[in-house]
Amino acid sequence: MKDLLSNKIALVTGGSRGLGKNEALKLAELGSDVIITFRSQKEEAQQVVNEIESQGRKALALQLDVSQTDSFDHFFEDLITQLKEKWGKDKFDFLVNNAGIDNSSLFSQFTEKAFDDLYNVHLKGTFFFTQKALAFMNDGGRIINTSTGLARFTIPGYSAYAAMKGAIEVFTRYLAKELGHRSITANVIAPGAIETDFNAPAFHANPQLKDTLAAQTALGRVGMPDDVGGIVAFLCTEHARWINAQRIEASGGMFL
């Protein structure tokens, strides 16, 4: 199993912590080399690189702010330089669009600034980062976008965030259709409530929230990063080559 992705290279945005970190480590477990991006936590990113390299895989961390689309050309110039120096290649195989931010408030109180911040990262950033990445991806590759269970069920306060993710789900289907001629599949994973530092502020602000969500989940608990990362890694294997344009919810059965 550990060599299912040997000789492959994955790019995971936001891979320095949370779900992205777990996804990067799971890809490495299956044999893939991994490039992760981080926005500001360089030391955390280097720790992930060290963990991946301890598994015998090659790894690299590059700084990226997904909301800054005017930085993408420079990012990919740097990426290609690093690919040639470290791997002797000029393309990679898998793109995992994981980077994200959180901002929750009731619809009646949501600000335009907060809306724009979410839009620039989750929708505009993902859209144009993927567009730029295509020139540097091998045919037969994989694109995995990140949605949320909140695009199916509703929890007050997440109207803007869920709307962005709903758009990502539609975007993913279009990617699958338009990239089929290159044998690149595009799927979206939709986690439910996951106990990471991403959701920590919400759990801390409402100590009962985790128990409430667990009670509404068929498997009786909130999720952990390990519940999600392996799915992303599986979607990159040949076993998943016929899965395309699909929304895969990893929520343990929330709000059934």
Helix (H) or strand (E) holding 126: helix 126-133
128 contacts 69 by C-beta, under 8 angstroms: yes
The predicted structure's pLDDT at residue 16: 96
Q: Is the residue at 205 inside a domain?
A: yes
CA distance 63 to 40: 7
Q: Is the residue at 156 inside a domain?
A: yes
The predicted structure's pLDDT at residue 198: 66
State residue 171 phi and psi, 5-degree precision: -55, -40
Q: Is the residue at 192 inside a domain?
A: yes
Q: Is the residue at 3 inside a domain?
A: no
The predicted structure's pLDDT at residue 1: 62
The predicted structure's pLDDT at residue 207: 72
CA distances to 74, 85, 100, 238 from 198, rounded to whole Å, are 28, 34, 9, 31
> First CA to last CA across the chain, in angstroms?
33
How many C-beta neighbours within 10 Å does residue 127 have? 16
73 contacts 45 by C-beta, under 8 angstroms: no
The parent domain of residue 45 ranges over: 9-250
The predicted structure's pLDDT at residue 3: 86
State residue 181 phi and psi, 5-degree precision: -65, -15
Q: How many domains does the chain have?
A: 1
CA 223 to chain centre: 16
Q: Is the residue at 78 inside a domain?
A: yes
Strand, helix or coil at 120? helix
CA distance 51 to 18: 14
- pLDDT averages per 10-residue partition of the chain, 256 residues: 90 96 98 97 96 97 98 98 97 98 94 97 98 98 98 95 98 98 98 80 73 94 95 98 98 96
Q: Is the residue at 132 inside a domain?
A: yes
Q: Is the residue at 62 inside a domain?
A: yes
CA distances to 55, 98, 119, 134, 240 from 140, rounded to whole Å, are 25, 20, 29, 12, 12
Mark out the alpha helices in 11-125 (DSSP H runs): 18-29, 42-54, 72-87, 112-118
Q: Is the residue at 2 inside a domain?
A: no
Please give the structure tokens belonging to residue 212: 């409430």
The domain that holds 246 is classified in CATH as: 3.40.50.720
